[in-house]
Amino acid sequence: MSGKLKGKGGLEGYLEAFKRFQNGAGGPSWLRDVRQAAIQRSAELGFPTVRDEHWKFTNLAPLAKKTFRAASGGGKITLDDVAPFVFRGQESARLVFVNGRYVEELSDPCAQPGGVIACSLAQSLGTHKELVEQHLAKHLDYERDFFAVLNTAFMADGGFVYVPARALVQRPIHLVFGTTKTSSPVVTHPRNLIMVGEAAEAAIVEEYVSLGGDEYFTNAVSELVVDEGAVLEHYRVERESERAYNIGTVRVQQGRGSNVTCHGVFLGGALVRNNMHPVLAGEGAECVLNGVFMPRGRQHIDNFMWVEHASPHCGSRQYYNGILDDKASGVFSGRIIVHKDAQKTDAKQTNRNLLLSDEAQMDSKPQLEIYADDVKCTHGATIGQLDDEAIFYLRSRGIAAETARTLLLFGFAAENLERMREEPIRRYVEDLVTGRLPRGEILKKLS
Amino acid sequence: MLEIKNLHVSVEGRKILKGFSLKVDAGEVHSIMGPNGSGKSTLASVLAGRDGYEVTQGQVLYRGRDLLEMEAEERACEGVFMAFQYPVEIPGVGSIQFLTAALNAIRKHRGEEELDAFEALKLFKDKVKQLHMSDEMLHRSVNEGFSGGEKKKNEIFQMAVLEPSLAILDETDSGLDIDALRIVADGVNALRSPERAMLVITHYQRLLNYIVPDYVHVLVDGRIVRSGGKELALHLEEHGYSWAGERDPAAPAGASA
Ligand SMILES: Nc1ncnc2c1ncn2[C@@H]1O[C@H](COP(=O)(O)OP(=O)(O)OP(=O)(O)O)[C@@H](O)[C@H]1O
Ligand SMILES: [Mg+2]
């Protein structure tokens, strides 16, 4: 799109951009209908404000006011630019999206045994029409989630993963979304559709990065449909530019006895919203939301958990740890909703936060909505500083005070990192986290 | 090696140590016994450099230097080691990572070559074996979920790795079963040498059967009220601390107030 097309800011800008997008985007008629319905719903919902109870702690005004041009691919990115995005010691499939579009030359979907498919959503519309039509946009929350609906209106590309029943994904699938330097701020709406069949197993990583981009907006949605008895290890690594906006929604639909772990690592972005919305729809399903967020400077990271227990005997765990420095702010809202029939629910939530500066701020809010009578729900939140006793213990062994603090900060994040079962991915993430700690380089020598 | 002169220490405005004096030479093992709350841990903490203690009077010289002027980590690098009465659990920090950092900080301070991860691990495994401990604890976070006895053993293991010149053991025997007590005592005895000194804080003379001290001191209400040889511990066991405080005319200056 030309930079000269000066769009209007706010909702109106999106509505206008939609007309051009819908004309140019093509696609099957059912998809055009879905998009059309979504833009209408977006217009009805409008940008949330702090008066909206789900957005109390995050002021979207700067994002709402800003004009973002719709990005549609482009950007001169080479293999060298994406070379850092590899998991050492593990062959993995890599799908690279630049400014919202799949770039074949930068990607290596690598063949996987057992009929596993990893390709771009745009491709899948041609090659796997039925699967896409059956699942795309089927589970979103049209009632309340403005950004997921907006993404639906503009969805064009993203990761498409299909793991047939009983298949085992041997190489983790790594989806990399990068935004390049552009003449004016752009918005992308990455859309991922991930289906894991009955008793299948998969590990999938979504990573959001800047490839030179500075101020831009990523509005991502992932739909994870996990069938009976399937096991999914899902990772989301957010390391956008520190002036970027990232709003990501992960909607997980879980079948009977399925087991899903969603790891999250949030490092970048000026304003980040992490929407996690698992629905434990089948009996005996288990879900773990495990995340660490580390805002600094003036970054703001808002974690919004919405865990629905819709069937009996399901278990959910939320473990979110935050490390906040400078004038950064963070939010953790953890809502657990236990539907009427979801007896024997076992839900637990912990949110622990470290404030490294007096000016850092954290709002933590558990919310339990329980309509069944035989359930076990617990929650706990802490906001504090590093433990003086622990610092002294390390210093009393000869470790300098600064190093002691770095070790303890790492230890704090390590609680989350240790839950990541895929070792090469864990090491990759560990490096990113270590890199963000003050004097983190000293940790490299110790393991 | 260590000379404590008329030390007065307050915590949150409360006087805890009230004129504590002690001289420890290299090669010596001193035991400090005393009732709960008499100030034993306060003494150990002040020597190790814990914050929150106000020294209102007195002096501590370590190898001729003013110990109280030094940061906690510098003291450790200079060879002071305290085995904690209550070792701290540090979730997420691996024992190997922690001990490698400590060992290399001390080695660097001494002008020795730092060990790489591989060499350090080998050293840790050797020490574990020498001490007849299990190397399982190496692969856990520091003290996390350890039993009381495991924590105490871990303190001794750290001491064995760091090879301090002055070791202060704060009730390292409390809560140990007989086997663990032997392991701890053997670890301490293995480190005894003419260049090292030890301060062994304990309630029970039991430990002193294994770690035989050169001197025993009785601390009551912030002061040494009686000093003697190892037989003093036996006597204490029989007669209790009040005896020690009341009837010793030869107690150090300031003891009979
Ligand atoms: N941080 C503190 N704040 C307030 N009082 C303290 C603090 N630390 C120690 N004290 C007090 O100082 C006194 C001496 O405590 P200390 O721990 O040195 O005794 P101790 O001889 O080691 O006792 P124990 O045999 O029970 O270990 C006690 O009365 C204790 O309550
Ligand atoms: Mg004590």
Determine, for residues B117 and A446 on separate chains, whether the beta-carbon distance falls below 8 Å: yes
Q: What is the pLDDT of residue B205?
A: 81
Distance CA A295, CA A267 (A): 6
Q: How far apart are CA A299 and CA A389, in angstroms?
A: 30
Position B256 in a domain: no
Contact call for A407 and B117, based on CB within 8 A: no
How close, in Å, is residue B74 to chain A by CA atoms? 6
Chain A neighbours among B 29-68 (CB < 8 Å)?
48-51
What mean pLDDT comes out for the span B31-39? 92
Residue whose CA is at the smallest distance from ligand 1 atom 26 = B36
- Considering only the beta carbons, identify the residue of A388, A396, A442 that sits closest to B49: A396
In a domain, B253, yes or no: no
- pLDDT attached to residue A446: 74
Contact A394 B102 (CB under 8 A): yes
In the reported structure, the alpha carbon of residue B201 is separated from the centroid of ligand 2 by a whole-number distance in angstroms of: 8
Q: If you average pLDDT over each of A137-141, A390-394, A443-447, B169-173, which comes out highest?
A: A390-394
Residue A76, pLDDT above cutoff 70: yes
Q: pLDDT for B227-241, tens place per residue?
A: 988 888 778 877 777
| Domain hosting residue B68, numbered range | 2-247
Q: Residue B256 pLDDT more than 60?
A: no
Query: What is the pTM (predicted TM-score) of this model?
Result: 0.90
pLDDT at A5 (0 to 100): 38
Residue B92 lies in a domain: yes
Q: Average pLDDT, stretch B126-131?
A: 93
User: Cβ contact (<8 Å) for A400 and B105?
Assistant: yes
Question: pLDDT averaged over chain A?
Answer: 93
Q: Helix B95-109 crosses helix A401-417 at what angle (to 10 degrees)? A: 160
Q: Compute CA distances A131 → A55, A136, A369, B28, B254, whole Å.
A: 34, 8, 34, 80, 89
Secondary structure (DSSP) of A241-310? -TT-EEEEEEEEEE-TT-EEEEEEEE---SEEEEEEEEEE-STT-EEEEEEEE---TT-EEEEEEEEEE-
Is residue B184, in this structure, part of any structural domain at all?
Answer: yes
Q: What is the pLDDT of residues A399-437, one digit of tens each?
A: 999 999 999 999 999 999 999 999 999 999 999 999 999
Q: How far is ligand 1, taken at its centre, from the CA of residue B84, in Å?
A: 14
pLDDT score at A142 = 82
In 3D space, the residue among A206, A317, A216 whose CA is nearest the CA of residue A260 turns out to be: A317
| 8 Å CB contact of A397 and B90 | no
**Looking at the 3D structure of chain B, how many domains does it have?**
1
Measure in Å the smallest separation between the Cα of A411 and chain B Cα atoms.
4
> What number of C-beta contacts closer than 8 Å exist between A and B?
101
Cβ within 8 Å of B, A 375-404 = 387-390, 392-401, 403-404
Alpha carbon of A234 to ligand 2 centroid (Å): 48
Which of A382, A389, A399 is the best substitution to test chain B (most B C-beta atoms within 10 A)? A399
Nearest CA in chain B to A406: B93
Residue whose CA is at the smallest distance from ligand 1 atom 28: B37
pLDDT band at A271 (very low <50, low <70, confident <90, very high): very high
Of B88, B92, B100, the CB nearest to A414: B92
Partners of residue A392 in chain B, C-beta under 8 Å: 49-51, 72, 88
Residue B112 has pLDDT above 80, yes or no: yes
A193 and A159 in contact (C-beta within 8 Å)? yes
Q: What pLDDT is attached to residue A186?
A: 95
Answer positive or negative: Cα dihedral of A10, A15, A18, A23.
negative
pLDDT at position A9: 57
The pLDDT score that the predictor gives to residue B156 is: 95
Distances (CA, A) of B1 to A15, A356, B248, B252: 80, 39, 27, 20
DSSP state of B88: P
Per-window interface: A 34-93 vs B, CB < 8 A: none
Select from B88, B113, B154 the residue whose CB has the most chain A CBs within 10 Å, as the one to mutate to test that interface.
B88
Q: Is B227 on the interface with A (CB under 8 A)?
A: no
pLDDT at residue B242 is higher than 80: no
Provide the CATH number for the domain around residue B19.
3.40.50.300
Domain ranges of chain A: 8-282, 389-447
pLDDT band with cut points at 50, 70 and 90 for residue B243: confident
Composition of chain A by helix, strand, coil, percent to 5: 25, 35, 35
Residues 6+ apart with CB under 8 A from A52: none
In this prediction, residues A295-321 reach a mean pLDDT of: 97
CA of B45, closest atom in ligand 1: 18
Does residue B254 sit within a domain? Answer: no
Q: Could you give the angle at the alpha carbon of B156 between the alpha carbons of B154 and B161, nearest 5°?
A: 95
- Of the candidates A392, A403, A412, the beta carbon closest to that of B92 is on A412
> Ligand 2 being an ion, which residues bring their Cβ within 5 A of it?
B 40-41, 85
| Residue B45 belongs to a domain | yes
Phi, psi (degrees; rounded to nearest 5) at A319: -130, 105
Question: Three-class SS of residue A184?
Answer: coil
Minimum CA distance residue for ligand 1 atom 30: B37
Over residues B54-79, the pLDDT tens digits come to 999 999 999 999 999 999 999 999 99
Residue B219 Cα: closest atom of ligand 1: 21
**Do A219 and A150 meet the contact criterion of CB atoms below 8 Å apart?**
yes
Is there an atom of ligand 1 within 6 Å of B202 CB?
no
Closest listed residue to residue A238, CA positions, set A200, A184, A276? A276
